[in-house]
Structure 1
């Protein structure tokens, strides 16, 4: 089941406190970026946060891991009930983004 754009818009709106948060369509679903880093995926109407020690510390014992799509590495699955708390969601996304490495610069294409 493909994710509806309304779901992605809601998550992005709730996570605004994390910094510059936006979504980009990827492989038929969505990647959620925070301050230029891919911090989460939204697949099949579910939010999957990249696994980091900072994310695990904030999630505590309630951290559930699942693959966002077949063949993907497991990520933290954030239940939809948690999306309703913008402060907690922002904290999770911000902590995850801060723990991730800076992506390498994109190579320029030759004209």
Structure 2
């Protein structure tokens, strides 16, 4: 089951004020970027964050899960708790880097 557009809009609404927010659809699921940093992964209408030391204490009671087959285990973020979600994002921002732009592959047609 892919993430619904209503769900991704709700996620972005809940974290509004945490910085510049955008999302990108990937294979029916979404990556949410804050300040151009990939912060939240939304799969099957569930919000995931990487398991990192900077949020370990705050997320110790959180459920864990796998966003997709082959993925590493992630914390499941309670996006309904707006204040807590924004706090987690503020803790993550200094530790997540902006992805480097990919070079476009040139196609040679002979």
TM-score by length of 2: 0.84
Task: Give how far 1:2 is off.
Answer: 1.1
The residue number in structure 2 matching 1:14 is 14
**In structure 2, the residue corresponding to 1:17 is in which secondary structure?**
coil
The residue number in structure 2 matching 1:94 is 90
Asked if the contact 1:43/1:68 (under 8 Å) is kept, the reply is yes
Q: Which has the larger radius of gyration?
A: 2
The residue number in structure 1 matching 2:57 is 57
- Structure 1 regions of 5+ residues with no counterpart? none
For CA contacts below 8 A with separation 6 or more, give which structure has more relative contact order: 1
- Structure 2 regions of 5+ residues with no counterpart? none
- Call closer, same or farther: CA 1:64–1:84 in 2, change over 3 Å: closer
Name the count of aligned residue pairs. Answer: 107
User: Relative to total residues, which structure has the larger helix share, 1 or 2?
Assistant: 1
TM-score by length of 1: 0.83
Pick which of 42-51 and 92-101 moved more.
92-101
